[in-house]
Chains A and B, each alone.
Chain A
């Protein structure tokens, strides 16, 4: 069976959930091989085995960590040249997309970004994308070279399948060209104690309607075990960090449940949450466009509706 390369998305060996989703998808397409680039492989080993990697290519080198994505693209191209995979899967985030872009040129291969599903069809590996702010569903195929696909979070439910991967160390040699952008500082990932926004099964977001008080939004999020999101209006007002912005120029989320509180539903916001399974809206304006996509909505003031919902949920859970 042909190998399917999965680039491991991790921070110092802490494997992100998207990678377990990619490994699950890769098992449907062929034999999954994880490619680990960076440092901290020891911390990643168990997770990769748990989600069925048949092989792991390990490239550990400090220079891979100190530079922006170009060296990673070089290593991945090197692995692909020997593995001759049937496809290469990466996470659809800034790093993943830039690595994929460079890889497509190096391998002279077609590239599809932001897939929400990848399947093996008769005609070959076929992707599904949601485009124009979710207005259209597009299926596509790569017709030249090795299909390179970046896959959005929550495209698959991670399914464990224990394996004992063969480990193969990759000798790393990085060109000078690839070292042109140097990382001089890296902020630690924000520790809110809440799930990661893009990975969360439930997201509760607040907008301008919060008036700057995200307390009720955070309290509901905590009652539901959810991540907290924000509209750009809320972020621009300085009420919540940009890392939590949902939308075209923020994060794309695709949770089971999205709660929009005090958000009007501009197209740029919808672009980031349109593929949510269930949408719940709280807004005091019955005419707010976001209601048109609500599975359930409350016309009311979020400052009273959210706390009451939170209290009720806490009661029900007790």
Chain B
């Protein structure tokens, strides 16, 4: 069984995330970046399947030079190999272009049974790339999965959307997972050492047969017109409870016409 896990390298949410002043793209260079935390759950779910049986796990990322760190982390956790799609022309790609590139990469990997992704990237956070991949590859997609069982050629999943649904799909399928599904492992010392010897391929757009003109900022199907840093909320009145904190709270709410 062959499993692809999509891992994205994103600016750390704990750092001060910002935009490139020149073209309004996410600043991926001067801000500390990490493997998107939500993709760790996808890696873990793939590893659980490979721990339980015979599965090859391939971590795939698309992103600038530093994105190889996301692959590295997945390999340290236990993935078998990595693919890094790297090309200057990709800068500023929208979700549509990203899904085009990742779909081509999945096809080039070939004979993939399962694709795991996170429920959203922690930077863009659109939650659309997995469904776009399904549309492009004509595969089943189950999103927002909080529990998964694999039974032969069928996945059975608990989907935590607005209501909870139980969904079945035959492989091959794309599954995007939430942080409810498992507890991602930390790389062990052995894992970290082993990762150094694992193969990582770098593919360009040419390797994928994609025209550079169809991706990147200039080919995006939407434009950012303006970016404004939101003034931090100014802190209002804070009182210390001296036996009347609740009453003061109620008075504030009444004052603001919430009662």
Interface, chain A (partner B; CB < 8 A)? 11, 68-70, 73, 93-95, 97-102, 104-106, 108-114, 123, 126, 130-145, 177, 180-189, 202, 224, 232, 242-243, 248-249, 256-257, 267-268, 278-282, 286, 291-301, 304-313, 316-317
Contacts and interface: CB of A to CB of B under 8 A. Distances in A.
Given A94-B161, A135-B229, A249-B38, A105 B141 contact: no
B256 A278 contact: yes
Contact of B170 (A139, A144, A180): A180
B128 A111 contact: yes
Of B129, B136, B140, which is in contact with the most chain A CB atoms at under 10 Å from its CB?
B140
A177 B138 contact: yes
B131 A98 contact: yes
B239 A297 contact: yes
B223 A299 contact: no
A132 B17 contact: yes
B165 interface: yes
Of B19, B238, B247, B254, which is in contact with the most chain A CB atoms at under 10 Å from its CB?
B238
Contact of A296 (B143, B180, B232, B249): B249
A138 B160 contact: no
Given A68-B142, A243-B160, A312-B247, 15 more contacts: A94-B161, A97-B127, A102-B131, A113-B126, A114-B125, A144-B221, A181-B142, A184-B166, A202-B258, A224-B253, A257-B253, A267-B14, A281-B238, A312-B251, A316-B250
A98 B163 contact: no
Interface residues of B, number: 85
Interface stretch (B47-55, B57-65, B93-101, B194-202): B93-101
Nearest to B157: A181
Contacts of A11: 163
The binding surface of chain A is classed by DSSP as: mixed
A186 B160 CA distance: 10
Contacts of A299: 238-241, 245
Contacts of B225: 123, 126, 139-141
B57 to A, nearest CB: 23
A104 B38 contact: no
Interface in B80-125: 94-96, 99, 119-120, 122-123, 125
A301 B237 CA distance: 17
Nearest to A135: B230
Nearest to B169: A181
B30 interface: no
Contacts of B159: 68, 94
